[in-house]
Amino acid sequence: MVFDPASLIFSPASGPVRASSILPAVRENIELHTADGLTLVGELALPADGVVNATLITLHPLPTHGGFMDSHVYKKASYRLPALAGIAVLRFNTRGTSSPRGTSEGIFEEGVGERLDVEAAVAFAVDRGLPNRWLVGWSFGTELVLKYGAVQPVADAVEGAVLLSPPLHRAQDTDLRSWAQAGKPLTVLVPEFDDYLRPLEAAQRFAMVPQAKMVPVDGAKHLWVGEKYAARALNEIASTVLGTEVSLPVKWDGPVAALPAV
């Protein structure tokens, strides 16, 4: 059964924002349609008051290793950022990827066919009139951002990007040079204990992108496990897309929901 965000039941609450806390937003299941005829499934979470300060178009970790639209940093972004920062969050499953929302058509294409998935997500955000659009990639998702975010038709439709744990496996120096030439902002969050690319090497690799802002995160690992590190990632994302330093509230006084028991 496909999860319906309308099934969430909110109750008054006051206290700390927890990993499972779902704050108010206007949430809807969406479908994206790619240029090669696939239907991708996703969710859009909008601020409940209708005022959108920025829009995140999220690209998830490697689906062959458990990555999907519900990977925890993105799920927490959807749960919190509409209410705490007025940020819309678009999450979706790339081709062939499954989650409680459902399964996107197609098969995993090693980051090649997924170019059309990125284009479809950005086109959806444009068509919906969502402002101040930013790409956010995590692990495999950073490869898609780097390869396709600074070239047309995506480049003119986004303000910039945030990268979490970039492995720089599929993305090459030619892709980094495309970002350098585009001049668009690029914030790069690199865990101290990343499995693939650690801060020193990342600084060397991204040196060819003059506008890249390197953010080494002490103690963090590739998967950003732990509330401390997930919260740090969300603060850095919000600060980048809103253009000012943000420290998201850690307490909430208002309606809260939790996922229903399976």
**How much is the average pLDDT of 155-161?**
98
pLDDT tens track for 15-25? 999 988 999 99
Residue 129 Rama label (left phi>0; alpha psi -120 to 50; beta): left
CB neighbour class for 9 (10 Å; exposed up to 12, middle 13-18, buried from 19): exposed
Q: Please report which confidence band the pLDDT of residue 2 belongs to, taking 50, 70 and 90 as the band edges.
A: confident
| Amino acid 262: pLDDT | 47
Dihedrals phi, psi of 228, to nearest 5 degrees = -55, -45
Residues 224-248 pLDDT 10s: 999 999 999 999 999 999 999 999 9
- Tens digits of residue pLDDT in 128-142: 999 999 999 999 999
What pLDDT, in 10s, does the model give residues 92-118? 999 999 999 999 999 999 999 999 999
**Within 10 A of 57 (CB to CB), how many other CB atoms are there?**
27
143 pLDDT exceeds 70?
yes
pTM, rounded to two decimals: 0.97
